[in-house]
Amino acid sequence: MTGAEPVEAFRSERHFRLKSVEGLTHRSMRFTSEQDGGLATRVEIYFGNVGLMLVYPEMEGLVIRPACGNELREVIAKHGLPDDTIDVYLLESGGRQGFVQSGQPHWREAAVAYYEPSLFFSGGPWSTEDLVASGMVAEAD
């Protein structure tokens, strides 16, 4: 799936690890999938402009979707976010739920090894020909 249109939710059965959290300027976070079972590709998920997060460092299977309605109000109240916050994404895995308050999450899947540089930084050893799929999660209504 090479997504031009945002999707309602990102879904994957893969094993993901929190790969990096960058602080001072970009406030970004990346999750990277394992290549267990001989998978030829790696999936990387990027969150930019991160304001607040409560995430698990490893997740087996992952759903990312915007928080809406009561879910959003609950996160805002529980974590002291401004009442007009709308950019909250829920991360669900194995019956557990975390969240990230950030810009729209983006993902890329490419035929590169786990240890290769990020799929979101230009100048890496991979090329656009390695790219299998990409997309982003829709903003909340």
The pLDDT tens digits for 70-111 are 999 999 999 999 999 999 999 999 999 999 999 999 999 988
- Domain membership of residue 1 (yes or no) is no
130: Cβ contacts below 8 Å, ≥ 6 apart: 110, 111, 112
- Domain membership of residue 63 (yes or no) is yes
Indicate whether 128 pLDDT > 80.
no
- Domain membership of residue 94 (yes or no) is yes
- Rounded Cα distance, 115 and 42, in Å: 10
- Domain membership of residue 96 (yes or no) is yes
Q: Output the pLDDT for position 125.
A: 62
- Domain membership of residue 64 (yes or no) is yes
Strand order of the sheet with strand 131-136?
Answer: 52-54, 96-101, 88-93, 58-66, 10-22, 28-33, 42-47, 106-110, 131-136
If pLDDT is split at 50, 70 and 90, which confidence band does 1 have? very low
- Domain membership of residue 103 (yes or no) is yes
Q: Output the pLDDT for position 15.
A: 94
- Domain membership of residue 129 (yes or no) is yes
Q: Output the pLDDT for position 25.
A: 66
- Domain membership of residue 3 (yes or no) is no
The pLDDT tens digits for 4-59 are 578 899 999 999 999 999 877 668 999 999 777 788 899 999 999 999 999 999 99
Q: Output the pLDDT for position 28.
A: 92
Q: Output the pLDDT for position 2.
A: 46
pTM attached to this predicted model: 0.89
Q: Output the pLDDT for position 91.
A: 97
Number of domains in the chain: 1
Provide the residue range defining the domain that includes 32: 10-136
- Rounded Cα distance, 17 and 15, in Å: 7
